[in-house]
Chains A and B, each alone.
Chain A
């Protein structure tokens, strides 16, 4: 057993934790980072990054398959072949490269990284159980950045053919039949990818619609694409049981019960804050629904204990955690700063992608009259040349002064547009500002300017 002292201890090496530790160290704060697995957290290892790589492989294969079956605008290929082992290796290489980048960043920043599982003894003392024994760390400030974990469905424990998203990304083959339980963005992303890789996919959602946070129009493109991919969509359907021996899911819906034979079941019904084993009961931090409550400096109810990322209330997104991480590092380094961000952009890497930032139409209070303007990619030259005109860009602006309150889009490559939307909202721009900013032609991004022009005067191509 050994004892360490430091000014800042960060628990968890995901996007929140490693950014916080590295930034704090570079600001001159003596910093230790504790991570039980590999640094990079869910995002790099088993989340955002490998799933995006899988989606890219799936899209390539899907395009090649279409090109083999009659060609795509003149391009024909012979029968494509998917080498799943190679694809998985490439995905793993991407992850490894990024993780070693994070390790290097932490080293260069002067962060001491410990491998092990942390447990609070009190607000300033943490025990770390590592492979080589226990280390006790006494820190002036502690940041909890332990992220979130998948929710399990009672009676449907993962194991065997029942997978969570991590296990699905580690599959050694593409299953012939895949049932995806939960049609949120993780289920939609992975389900669509496996469908493109040749699996026969059934999506099972207890609620009445997929991607329930979005309105019908925003998800219309995704539903059309699922249909094209022969994905079976079962909304209003619950899982009643699973028989591993016969590989059969028991399903229940208003129209009655039905069995579904499948080779694999992917459970993506949500994520919950991950505080197990952390000894939070020693601290009695104020929590709500498992989330650790924080103030506008990410301070918990205990002095000098901070929390960032998915363990705190708010969207479970890596970039929110990173922004909180910057803030906390600066607060601990003595800078006068607070969380005053107006918006957090969000992206679903479905097909087509869906993005949103700021207010959705359903979120605007009835007392605030708003303009809603939509520009469809049907009239966008670049979308036509990409042979993908599904979708639109939609702007919500306050009616009286045209302040942009929210932007949503679905369509080809809109994930690359959403940061521009966020910039407009964060900077407090009006429709006139966007309308008067020249957007390059021919690009998908022109749809943003066109939608703004529709609110100010008229679209050029509307």
Chain B
């Protein structure tokens, strides 16, 4: 018995260890050179490890899930066994019944009577000392590789497998010399619940490449930079907007025709202009290269706006000096201009705090990305009627979540939470929005 020990090879990714994902062979199994013996997973990929020699597996060096060092013993293969090949079914049977019955093909490899019967007359021996090797002519066998080391199959079979998205290495050929036939492909697709007629529902295999240019590229760069540089944290708070909604409906009934309809945003903007008076650290820019935070008296609100070209953030200036309808008109004008790609350059710069709202798509909660060099962003989620416990009963209330993100380098969690709470108070008691703060 000539036993060879093989070590976990360097998979060529500059790694020191890999997780053994799955054994594809078992002790006692006869394998051929280049049969896949196991799969290992690195942090980058799952890699199939082929056997570098044929023979009988005598020992496996780890269990699935185990992390193994590169170079540690992986498998032992007895190479005296490599002349006999058993049918796959036999391998399974052998595993189920540890005592192979006499005549099992693995039991006596040198005995020509138990070896697979050659279909033709014996071949004349070539080497003097080696016993005559019966040609392996019966299928199905283990994976048979062709002249170039790829699975043995006719060109039409290879082409069909490709169009079906099937890796031929996963098949066992039933043809002569283990050649993979069209029937094998049929059986494989049937066994894998692929559609019987592949043409009825063809696999979608094409890809489309879209160049990231212009606005999209700018967005990509700015987003990546914001995420890379700014340690974000988000606070999500629910706001009872029943009172706000009633006020809004009343105002829209009364002034909608003449002054235009109001959305929630103008109220939020008014609330913000009040809240930043108590929280000037929120309405600022952080120049992280100069290590300077600039706090603004003015509130210039960025309005995140979806356009055909991607996300744009036009800026409504001096929100603190505008009334509800002025704000509503301003937002409308800015977003229409952005969608028509007619924003003026000054419309797109100078925001001190940004609001992002997905309107009716607004989800339960979001994690907005800060519009650098600002230090906070306010996300508006959608309004929904939810049951709220009022102390004695569940009552239906219109509720809306705010999802705000902050730059933790210059805004502490405590301050941020206070800011969100003051927004909540202002929005839940909307009369406060119109009061001058009692200083």
Interface residues in chain A, defined as those with a beta carbon under 8 Å from any beta carbon in chain B = 334, 336-338, 340, 342-343, 358-359, 367, 369, 371, 399-406, 425-428, 430, 432-433, 455-457
Q: Are B120's CB and A343's CB within 8 A? A: no
B131-162: which have CB < 8 Å to A?
Answer: 133, 135-137, 144, 146-148, 150, 152-155, 158-159, 162
Q: Are B177's CB and A340's CB within 8 A? A: no
Q: Are A399's CB and B121's CB within 8 A? A: no
Q: Known interface pairs A340-B158, A426-B155, A457-B120. Does A358 touch B144 (Cβ–Cβ under 8 Å)?
A: no
Q: Which residues of B are found within 8 Å of A343, using beta-carbon distances?
A: 147
Closest residue of chain A to B83 (Cβ to Cβ) is A400
> Is B163 an interface residue when CB atoms closer than 8 A count as contact?
yes
Pairs A-B, 10 closest by C-beta atoms: A401-B177, A427-B154, A428-B152, A401-B136, A457-B121, A405-B147, A428-B179, A430-B177, A403-B177, A456-B120
Q: Are A402's CB and B147's CB within 8 A? A: no
Please tell me which one of the listed residues A338, A367, A401, A427 contacts residue B137 in the complex, with CB atoms under 8 A apart: A401
> Is B178 an interface residue when CB atoms closer than 8 A count as contact?
yes
Q: Are B135's CB and A342's CB within 8 A? A: no
A319 to chain B, nearest CB (A): 15
Q: Are A428's CB and B123's CB within 8 A? A: no
A199 to chain B, nearest CB (A): 41
Q: Which residues of A are found within 8 Å of B158, using beta-carbon distances?
A: 340
Q: Which residues of B are found within 8 Å of A336, using beta-carbon distances?
A: 162-163, 205-206
12 A-B interface contacts by CB (under 8 A)? A334-B206, A342-B147, A343-B147, A371-B126, A399-B123, A401-B177, A403-B144, A427-B154, A427-B155, A432-B120, A433-B176, A455-B123
A228 to chain B, nearest CB (A): 36
Q: Which residues of B are found within 8 Å of A359, using beta-carbon distances?
A: 147
Q: Are A342's CB and B126's CB within 8 A? A: no
> Is B212 an interface residue when CB atoms closer than 8 A count as contact?
no
Q: How large is the interface on B (under 10, 10 to 19, 20 to 34, 35 or more residues)?
A: 20 to 34
Interface residues in chain B, defined as those with a beta carbon under 8 Å from any beta carbon in chain A = 33, 83, 119-121, 123, 126-127, 133, 135-137, 144, 146-148, 150, 152-155, 158-159, 162-163, 175-179, 205-206
Q: Which residues of B are found within 8 Å of A426, using beta-carbon distances?
A: 154-155
Instruction: Report the separation of the CA atoms of residues A406 and B177 in the bound assembly, to the nearest whole angstrom.
Output: 16
Q: Which residues of A are found within 8 Å of B176, using beta-carbon distances?
A: 430, 432-433
Q: Are B137's CB and A432's CB within 8 A? A: yes
Q: Which residues of B are found within 8 Å of A337, using beta-carbon distances?
A: 159, 162
Instruction: Report the separation of the CA atoms of residues A6 and B302 in the bound assembly, to the nearest whole angstrom.
Output: 44
Q: Are B123's CB and A401's CB within 8 A? A: no
Q: Known interface pairs A336-B163, A432-B176. Does A401 touch B144 (Cβ–Cβ under 8 Å)?
A: yes
Q: Are B126's CB and A358's CB within 8 A? A: no
Q: Which residues of B are found within 8 Å of A400, using beta-carbon distances?
A: 83, 133, 135-136
Closest residue of chain A to B162 (Cβ to Cβ) is A336
Q: Which residues of B are found within 8 Å of A342, using beta-carbon distances?
A: 146-148, 150
Instruction: Report the separation of the CA atoms of residues A343 and B155 in the bound assembly, to the nearest whole angstrom.
Output: 11
Q: Which residues of A are found within 8 Å of B148, using beta-carbon distances?
A: 342
Secondary structure call for the A interface:
loop
Instruction: Report the separation of the CA atoms of residues A369 and B131 in the bound assembly, to the nearest whole angstrom.
Output: 13
Instruction: Report the separation of the CA atoms of residues A41 and B114 in the bound assembly, to the nearest whole angstrom.
Output: 60
Q: Are B162's CB and A338's CB within 8 A? A: yes
Closest residue of chain B to A337 (Cβ to Cβ) is B162
Q: Which residues of B are found within 8 Å of A338, using beta-carbon distances?
A: 162
Q: Are B147's CB and A425's CB within 8 A? A: yes
Q: Are A369's CB and B162's CB within 8 A? A: no
Please tell me which one of the listed residues B133, B146, B206 contacts residue A428 in the complex, with CB atoms under 8 A apart: B146
Instruction: Report the separation of the CA atoms of residues A92 and B206 in the bound assembly, to the nearest whole angstrom.
Output: 46
Q: Which residues of B are found within 8 Å of A402, using beta-carbon distances?
A: 135, 137, 177
Q: Which residues of B are found within 8 Å of A405, using beta-carbon distances?
A: 147
Instruction: Report the separation of the CA atoms of residues A425 and B177 in the bound assembly, to the nearest whole angstrom.
Output: 13
B36 to chain A, nearest CB (A): 19
Given contacts A404-B147, A427-B155, 19 further A-B contacts (CB under 8 A): A337-B162, A340-B150, A359-B147, A399-B123, A399-B133, A399-B135, A400-B136, A401-B136, A401-B177, A403-B177, A406-B147, A426-B154, A426-B155, A428-B152, A428-B175, A428-B177, A430-B177, A432-B176, A457-B121
Q: Which residues of A are found within 8 Å of B163, using beta-carbon distances?
A: 336
Closest residue of chain B to A358 (Cβ to Cβ) is B147
Q: Which residues of A are found within 8 Å of B136, using beta-carbon distances?
A: 400-401
| Residue from A337, A342, A371, A404 having most chain B Cβ neighbours under 10 A | A342
Closest residue of chain A to B139 (Cβ to Cβ) is A401
Q: Which residues of B are found within 8 Å of A457, using beta-carbon distances?
A: 120-121
Closest residue of chain A to B32 (Cβ to Cβ) is A400
Please tell me which one of the listed residues A367, A399, A403 contacts residue B147 in the complex, with CB atoms under 8 A apart: A403
Instruction: Report the separation of the CA atoms of residues A334 and B177 in the bound assembly, to the nearest whole angstrom.
Output: 34
Q: Which residues of A are found within 8 Å of B135, using beta-carbon distances?
A: 399-402
Q: Which residues of A are found within 8 Å of B126, using beta-carbon distances?
A: 369, 371, 399
Q: Which residues of A are found within 8 Å of B154, using beta-carbon distances?
A: 426-428
Q: Which residues of A are found within 8 Å of B83, using beta-carbon distances?
A: 400
B83 to chain A, nearest CB (A): 8
Closest residue of chain A to B179 (Cβ to Cβ) is A428
Instruction: Report the separation of the CA atoms of residues A359 and B205 in the bound assembly, to the nearest whole angstrom.
Output: 34
A172 to chain B, nearest CB (A): 46
